[in-house]
Structure 1
Amino acid sequence: MPSLSKFLADNRGLSEKEADWLQHLIGDWNLLSDLLRADLVLWIQEEEGALAVAHCRPATGSTVYYEDPVGSLSDDGVEGTEVTRLLAGGEPHHRPTAIEREGRTATGLLIPVRKNGRTLAVLAAEHPDDDSRTSHSETQKRRLGGRLLRMLETGAFPIEGAPIPPRRGAPRVGDGVVELDEAGVVRWISPNAISAFHRFGIEGDMEGITLAELSTEVLQSRSPVDESLPLVLMGRAAWRSDMQARGGTLSLRAVPLTDRDGRTGAVILVRDVTELRRRERELITKDATIREVHHRVKNNLQTVAALLRMQSRRMKTDEAREALAEAMRRVSTIALVHESLLQGSQEAVHFDEVIDRCLRLAVDAASATVHRAGTPRLADAQVEVRTRKTGRVGSIRAEEATPLALVVTELATNAVEHGLSETGGTLTIHSERTGSHLLISIEDDGRGMGAAKPTGLGTNIALTLVQGQLGGTLTWDSLDDGGTRAMVEVYLDPLTI
């Protein structure tokens, strides 16, 4: 099934701004659906007829559609004819009509979606018939939903440019609804909203009193107050804000109600987000603690590497100096992973950046007979080694990043020391990832390994890490045009952040 964006992009009768307006409507029409307790279907005009391009089910009531109507064309019946008439610019009747959906009776209402006086689409609001008595709360919500439908008809809803920040805990109709008049006085409040405000510390009857006045009495004087809170409490701006008092937190969203004469009131959605905000604060504290741990580990590892470097300078034999240099390089590689964790999520490492740094580390520390392309030549006998990276690994779990970084560094170092130290050439790392499957090849265009099997401490370390910690395979083969390729194949664990 094509997406709404695809439907709108293929429609020649809508400009880019008009398509964006319909996208804005779809992003906020759950408010309408929940207030009306009705399914919403958006119809646009196509060459073949009226086409349903979006559908929303209410969270506060039952649906009339078991099958998604998106992608279907309107029929030739009375309802389809009315949709076509409205799409052509006709005026709505504003009368609910009896309809049938999948063998059940329902009530439908058709409203044109207009912007700048032009009809862009038609919104069908449909709810199942219910023999039970409608409660006072449900009647009030449907009345408020009807006011928003009239705003939709005149192009006043959704509210253009409403800066609603994308913060978790957005209140919905089922959490609590308050209706304000143009002066900010409470005209009606739902039972769930009353419970939320009572837990917040506001007691007694709230109707007939200014919501801002009620809230000011319980606000914490020492806590910072969002500058947008007064606008939200008065219903003057389409905004979201949090209000804190007595250890609790309420999330508020204001939707001003307007007609042709101006603002006539507002709908305030309210949700108790005390527990959610507490958990967010704990996560922020935990994140800061973990970052500090990674920072200290990185510093400690760099200190160890510096100590090894100092000790290697005191060694009198080349063998001892090389052994300490290898240990220093491995410690530095682990430090790279912790530094990457500092810059991103504490659960994931962007491994492509680690590969870049491993390449530089491997070439710079591999042998005194080589120098990296773009760096000064220290001796006439040095050969030049170029590095190249292709493909992407993406983000991987921190537990897998450390052994994989060590493996890449060891294999890259071996390629330089044994394949390129005499002739120079190009060291290439190619990554290929499909889902959890990861394949990394380290290639050099040097003299090749021939029939000899790779041995040594670095090779043993790489094999142990790949087979033991990563549960993968490590193989070597000779390239046809000279050189050696090492292949690492592993299956990564799912990344959850």
Structure 2
Amino acid sequence: MPSLSKFLADDRELSEKEADWLQHLVGDWNLLSDLLRADLVLWIRSADGPRAVAHCRPATGATVYYEDPVGTVLDEDSDSEVRALFAGAEPSWEAIGIEREGREARGLLVRVRKAGRTLGVLATESPAADGEPSQSERRQQQLGRRILQMLEAGAFPIEGAPIPPRRGAPRVGDGVVEVDAAGIVQWTSPNAQSAFHRFGIEGSIVGSTLAEHSTEVLQSRSPVDESLPLVLMGRAAWRSDMQARGGTLSLRAVPLTEDGRRTGAIILVRDVTELRRRERELITKDATIREVHHRVKNNLQTVAALLRMQSRRMKTDEAREALTEAMRRVSTIALVHESLLQGSEEAVHFDEVIDRCLRLAVDAASASVHRAGTPQLAESQVEVRTEKIGRVGTIRAEEATPLALVVTELATNAVEHGLSESGGTLTIRSERTGSHLVIAIEDDGNGMGSAKPTGLGTNIALTLVQGQLGGTLTWGSRDGGGTSAVVDVYLDPIQV
């Protein structure tokens, strides 16, 4: 099913600003759906007739649609009222009886307007009521009707007001407060009254302002958001948090206007005390984990530095070479922990690690020249070019460490044994499809011939690939000369 953006892009009559206006409406219309306890369907013009491009179900009542109506096109004989509104007719504001999927329902049609132009038609459809609605339901429906009138006048969604973030955002079911133009509370839903009681505000708040009651319980030493007074009075379409006595309320104001004049506001309220407590715990844990990675990285770098100092005191080339290789492996593990410091999750952007692994491997080129006893090459230095093709993406920290060691070992082997005498190009090709990852480390040297790779680095790479990554490691000749080592593994998915 095409997205709303695709539908709006196909409508050549809508300008970019008008399409953004409809996107803004759909991003915030759950408020209207919950107040009216009704499904919302947005219709726009199309070459084949009015087309449904977005649908919202209420969180406070039953839906009339089990099948999503998005994509439906009205034929010539159905819902002539929608066509009439597009043609310039005025809405009736009287709900009419309709049938949806074999069930009785009631519907109301309103034009979605901006700068005097009809951009679409909004249908509100709710199940037929079995009895009289409660006082709370009637009040919420009245508030919903006022927002529909703002929609018809082009005043909703409120221009310049950001769409509230989903996490912790108050909804109609959490609590609703109605205030007049002076900020005096006219009505509160039972859930809103309970939220304020838990916050420490006693008694009824109807007939007074929220600012008066909130001042008495706010913590004097806690910082207060400068937007909070405007939200409590309903003067700005913002969202703010209010803390006191260990509790936290999330408040969102939606000003109500008529003929461009503010006549009151809806204030949504939600008790987010537990949510904020968990967020603080996560922040603390995240900071602790970062500190652990930081200390591990520093300790590993210290170990590498000690190994480097010790290698300089070795009298034999064999001992010096062993300590140098150990230093390189410790440095590779430190790279992974340094990468974990950069992100907010226990995952590593492995392409950055590959770049640093390549630098470690190239640094081994000059060392390999000295170990080979070729001072004439040492003077000119071996030129090793590096090339990276493809992307690996993000992988879990548990897999990043062994994979980084494997890439470093294979790249170092390619530099030392494939390119150390003549120089050349070291290439790493990465191809990832979902969880399947293939990394090829290639050099354009003389090739390995029929000999099977041996040595400590080769054994380490093979053991890590097979034992910890559960994959395969194969060697072969590269097209055009040289050697190719291919790592083929399946990665575990990252938990979001």
Contact 1:229 1:243 in 2 (8 A): yes
Tell me the residue number matched to 1:357.
Answer: 356
Secondary structure, aligned partner of 1:368: helix
The code of the aligned residue for 1:42 comes to L
Tell me the residue number matched to 1:219.
Answer: 218
Contact 1:476 1:485 in 2 (8 A): yes
1:271 maps to 2:261:
no
Tell me the residue number matched to 2:95.
Answer: 96
Tell me the residue number matched to 1:124.
Answer: 123
Tell me the residue number matched to 2:35.
Answer: 35
Secondary structure, aligned partner of 1:268: strand
For structure 2, list consecutive stretches of 5 or more residues without a partner in the other structure: 371-375
Secondary structure, aligned partner of 1:493: coil
1:66-99 alpha-carbon deviations (Å, 9 max, x no partner): 111111112444x621111111222111111111
Distance in 2 (alpha carbons) for counterparts of 1:466 and 1:299: 27
Q: Residues 282-431 of structure 1: matches in 2 within 5 Å?
A: 282-368=281-367, 379-431=378-430
For residues 261 and 29 of structure 1, do their structure 2 counterparts lie closer, same or farther at Cα, with a shift above 3 Å needed? Answer: closer
1:350-399 alpha-carbon deviations (Å, 9 max, x no partner): 0000000000011102443569xxxxx99434321100001111110001
Distance in 1 (alpha carbons) for counterparts of 2:150 and 2:344: 43
For residues 357 and 289 of structure 1, do their structure 2 counterparts lie closer, same or farther at Cα, with a shift above 3 Å needed? Answer: same
Distance in 1 (alpha carbons) for counterparts of 2:66 and 2:298: 59
- The Cα of 1:130 is off from its aligned counterpart by 1.9
The code of the aligned residue for 1:148 comes to I
- The Cα of 1:261 is off from its aligned counterpart by 4.9
The code of the aligned residue for 1:326 comes to E
1:59 maps to 2:59:
yes
Distance in 2 (alpha carbons) for counterparts of 1:346 and 1:65: 39
Tell me the residue number matched to 2:72.
Answer: 72
For residues 167 and 228 of structure 1, do their structure 2 counterparts lie closer, same or farther at Cα, with a shift above 3 Å needed? Answer: farther
- The Cα of 1:148 is off from its aligned counterpart by 0.3
Tell me the residue number matched to 1:17.
Answer: 17
Identity of counterpart residues, as a percentage?
Answer: 81
Secondary structure, aligned partner of 2:152: helix
Contact 2:366 2:382 in 1 (8 A): no
Range 397-406 or range 124-133, more displaced: 124-133
Distance in 2 (alpha carbons) for counterparts of 1:66 and 1:436: 35
1:280-330 alpha-carbon deviations (Å, 9 max, x no partner): 001111111111111111111111111001001101111111100000000
For residues 306 and 46 of structure 1, do their structure 2 counterparts lie closer, same or farther at Cα, with a shift above 3 Å needed? Answer: same
Contact 1:383 1:421 in 2 (8 A): yes
For residues 16 and 378 of structure 1, do their structure 2 counterparts lie closer, same or farther at Cα, with a shift above 3 Å needed? Answer: farther
Distance in 1 (alpha carbons) for counterparts of 2:5 and 2:155: 22
TM-score, normalised to structure 2, is: 0.97
Contact 1:370 1:384 in 2 (8 A): no
The code of the aligned residue for 1:425 comes to G
Contact 2:369 2:378 in 1 (8 A): no
Distance in 2 (alpha carbons) for counterparts of 1:235 and 1:157: 15
Tell me the residue number matched to 1:477.
Answer: 476
- The Cα of 1:167 is off from its aligned counterpart by 6.6
1:330-356 alpha-carbon deviations (Å, 9 max, x no partner): 000000001000111341000000000
For residues 167 and 66 of structure 1, do their structure 2 counterparts lie closer, same or farther at Cα, with a shift above 3 Å needed? Answer: closer
Tell me the residue number matched to 1:490.
Answer: 489
Contact 2:175 2:189 in 1 (8 A): yes
TM-score, normalised to structure 1, is: 0.97
Distance in 1 (alpha carbons) for counterparts of 2:4 and 2:347: 33
1:453 maps to 2:452:
yes
Contact 2:27 2:163 in 1 (8 A): no
- The Cα of 1:14 is off from its aligned counterpart by 0.6
Distance in 1 (alpha carbons) for counterparts of 2:89 and 2:164: 37
Contact 1:369 1:381 in 2 (8 A): no
Secondary structure, aligned partner of 2:392: coil
1:110-148 alpha-carbon deviations (Å, 9 max, x no partner): 000000000000000010102122111011000000000
Contact 2:364 2:416 in 1 (8 A): no
Secondary structure, aligned partner of 2:307: helix
